[in-house]
Structure 1
């Protein structure tokens, strides 16, 4: 397994765990109240920041545990990364459109922010899954 493939696994797990933590904290904080009343901003920023730090630490850990090939990527890795990023970008666009529509119809900020956050998470998940499938089943650049 290449360095980039290991990093993709770490990124996938971190995206799932961070978003699950965010949703859990917001739901528990609501405590029966409407979700729009929850102070979600600090929780969202904390989980995003925590995911970034975890990603950095994960990359460092992979480099220490498997130093062979650490930080190196070949042409195939670069093409797979680009492919996964393109696949994942669809959700960023969809999330942007949904957030725009929410803003037009004056939906509460809570839902707009959460639509964007969910879009980023889905983008990370779909992009990572596409990369992992390309690593496992082969990749044919167009």
Structure 2
């Protein structure tokens, strides 16, 4: 497994874990009240911040565990990264249409913010999944 593939795994796990943690907090707070009344801003900020920090720590741990591989990237790694980022970008481009439509329809901020967060998470997961599948099966 290459250095970049290990980092892709970290990114996937962190994206899933961060969003799952956020959903657990929000759904836990929503017992008996409408979702739109739940305080979501601070949990969302904390989830994004914690995911960013966990991703950085994960990359540092991988670099420390495999120092000879750290920073080594060949042409295949570059192409896989480019392909995964392209797919992730396309998912994000389509995904932001939902919050845009919600904003135009003047829907509650809760739904707009959560749709944006979900679009970013789906973009990260799709791009990373493409990278991991490509590492395993090739182009």
TM, length-normalised to structure 2: 0.97
Structure 2 counterpart of 1:42: 42
Alignment of 1:1-142 (within 5 A): 1-139=1-139
**Bigger Cα displacement from structure 2, 88-97 vs 41-50:** 88-97
Q: Deviations over 1:89-121 (max 9, x none)?
A: 122112211111101111100000111100110
Structure 2 SS opposite 1:114: helix
Question: Residues of 2 paired with 1:53 and 1:130: CA distance?
Answer: 23
| 1:77 Cα deviation after fit | 0.8
Q: Deviations over 1:56-115 (max 9, x none)?
A: 000000011112211221111111001001111122112211111101111100000111
Q: Deviations over 1:14-69 (max 9, x none)?
A: 00000000000000011210111011011001000101000100000001111221
Question: Residues of 2 paired with 1:12 and 1:86: CA distance?
Answer: 16
Question: Residues of 2 paired with 1:96 and 1:17: CA distance?
Answer: 22
Question: Residues of 2 paired with 1:129 and 1:92: CA distance?
Answer: 14
Question: Residues of 1 paired with 2:82 and 2:109: CA distance?
Answer: 32
What stretches of structure 2 of length at least 5 have no aligned partner?
A: none
Question: Residues of 2 paired with 1:19 and 1:112: CA distance?
Answer: 16
What stretches of structure 1 of length at least 5 have no aligned partner?
A: none
